[in-house]
Chain A
């Protein structure tokens, strides 16, 4: 009986392992395809069918001028939007995690709403507002839109990261004679910084990759995803895959870096930051 039990249990375990492995494989298949096709030498306009291996695309990643400039537009927008939204979102997160106050429940709900509204609703409604107010579409409207969905994201992420933060540390510093602002910048801020950085990094990635909301609010400005959307109707060059792979590798490097850095910090301040 017991051997049968453990046999069945083992089989079940193996099944879970296989399913998990298959899921991970599933996640990576398209990524593999994207990277693989960045080494393709397509015959026609479309980089869909595998032809020949070449390093040319990686040697000349920026020959597609419009693609490159679209990428720059996206990075510029993401940088500004992320700075603004990280500041505003972090303030909200600190307010929610540090203080107990009336309406915090309502604020919580309000914060979650932009995250749960479909992007197409956010994008089209914001565009309607801009149309009504005769605002010209361009950099400003895209940045406004991105900050709008990033604020909630940053606030929620940072709040989760600093949920267990020990605010009495700051009080202790003040008791030892530090001014409140000094206590904040010298004690609190360095401790919550990794959480803020992580949120900023993720919201930067969200901004660079946003398509639907941007599509409605871009006017004739072309961001990286919009350029790809346009290209998908006409011509998909391997450079698209090259730049996408670059973005991927950069974010992997950044994430790995953040992980290692976070681990070191955690080791240094064991106990002050709960996970």
Chain B
């Protein structure tokens, strides 16, 4: 018995002598406790125990910080600064994901059963993956096309600002960002004015008599631009364009102009110099931009709702409909989870190659 106590004492002492581990441990402990409480891993009296354990950790930490002197405080500081924000994220980002997983495996007793029970109900996933497969496919293909388009439209602009912007760089960057301070929904609705059947674009196309070209490219359908897949993809492209331009700009800006000049001398043409020097150096920005455009675009439902037709709905529309209209929380959660998993896989592959720093 005494050996246990002395071992405990020794362990305590060794902990106190390595305050960094304590800081890390308490942070993890508190985060875990927060998730456990919020996601109801523990219920009733045991949740009180978890709360007491969390409180003890905090008290112990404060004790060590005071007793351990300035060095201890210094190695505890980074964790101390992290803690409030991290706990918030544990409570309202991690715990909700857990609730979502639980919900996605629950089943409803009736149409108006608002508290589905957890039953390992994989049927929800079957529905999500079969009934809503078209929406998933559409979401990812629309998002992919929109991402490509943002590259095509955004790269020249980023290039121009980085290499030819001169002293106007900041102003030009401001111009890129400013429009996105108007409301997202209003921006999207504005395309309604522009693409309407009797709007300026369609009448221009009609006057030039090139409707056929657009029809054959499947951009126009039955002589209209609005309520087509092209309109939805166009909306996505527009709304997420700055997320492509800014990262590309950041990576281009880092390139030494002399390097480009040297490449010009070295290679026979400007395009070759671009391909061999500038493009590779801007790849991190391109990849970061790709992710920052693709992810929100894949989960969006506003563009499909405002600019699309019943055959252009994306998975976001379905999740929103199942959740907020049909009140079918389990199926909506299953769809959300599948979407999240697919995107996480993409992010993980990405971070494997690129690291997280460039996402900032």
Chain A, residue nearest B322 (CB): A124
Q: Is the CB–CB distance between A121 and B339 below 8 Å?
A: yes
A95 in the interface, Cβ–Cβ < 8 Å? yes
Does A24 make an interface contact (CB < 8 A)? yes
A-B pairs with lowest CB-CB distance, top 9: A118-B299, A20-B160, A19-B156, A95-B81, A99-B78, A30-B190, A125-B100, A88-B85, A251-B181
Determine whether the beta carbon of A124 is less than 8 Å from that of B85: no
**Contacting chain A: which of B52-60, B123-131, B171-179?**
B171-179
Q: When chains A and B are docked, how far (Å) is the Cα of A248 from the Cα of B183?
A: 8
* Residues 90-127 (chain A) with a chain B CB within 8 angstroms: 91-92, 94-96, 98-99, 101-105, 107-122, 124-127
Partner of A255, one of B153, B178, B189, B343: B178
User: Could you tell me the distance between the alpha carbons of A94 and B296 in the complex, rounded to whole angstroms?
Assistant: 28
29 A-B residue pairings within 8 Å (CB atoms)? A9-B269, A12-B270, A12-B271, A16-B159, A26-B153, A27-B175, A30-B238, A33-B194, A48-B192, A49-B198, A91-B84, A92-B85, A95-B82, A96-B78, A102-B20, A118-B316, A120-B300, A120-B336, A131-B114, A147-B92, A156-B360, A160-B360, A212-B300, A216-B323, A232-B189, A245-B182, A251-B181, A255-B178, A259-B170
Q: B320 contacts which of A8, A9, A120, A232 (Cβ < 8 Å)?
A: A120
CB-nearest residue of chain A relative to B253?
Answer: A275
How many A-B pairs with Cβ below 8 Å? 269
| Interface segment out of the listed A58-66, A185-193, A222-230 | A222-230
| Residues in A whose Cβ lies below 8 Å from that of B295 | 116-118
The interface residues of chain A lying within 8 Å CB-to-CB of B99 are: 125, 128-129, 132
Can you name 5 extra interface pairs (CB under 8 A) apart from A101-B75, A131-B114, A156-B359? A17-B164, A48-B192, A119-B300, A122-B96, A236-B189
Closest-by-CB residue of B relative to A107 is B82
Contact with B along A140-175 (1 / 0, CB 8 A): 000011011001100111011000000000000000
Please state if B156 and A16 are interface contacts (CB–CB under 8 Å). Answer: yes
Inter-subunit contact B336/A92 (CB<8 Å): no
In the complex, chain B residues whose CB is within 8 Å of the CB of A82: none
Chain B residues within 8 Å of A127, by CB: 323
Count contacts on A: residues with CB < 8 A to the other chain.
96
- Would you call B339 and A120 a contact (CB within 8 A)? yes
A112–B291 Cα distance when bound, in Å, is 12
- Give A contacts to B, CB under 8 Å: 5, 8-9, 12-13, 16-17, 19-20, 23-24, 26-31, 33-34, 37, 48-49, 87-89, 91-92, 94-96, 98-99, 101-105, 107-122, 124-129, 131-133, 144-145, 147-148, 151-152, 155-157, 159-160, 205, 209, 211-212, 215-216, 224-225, 228-229, 232, 236, 240-241, 244-245, 247-248, 251-252, 255-256, 259
The answer to whether A116 and B347 have CB atoms under 8 Å apart is: yes
Contact B299 A119 (CB under 8 A): yes
Interface residues on B, range: 35 or more
Counting chain B CB atoms within 10 Å of each CB, which of A30, A109, A236, A244 scores highest? Answer: A30
**B329 touching A131 by the CB < 8 A rule?**
yes
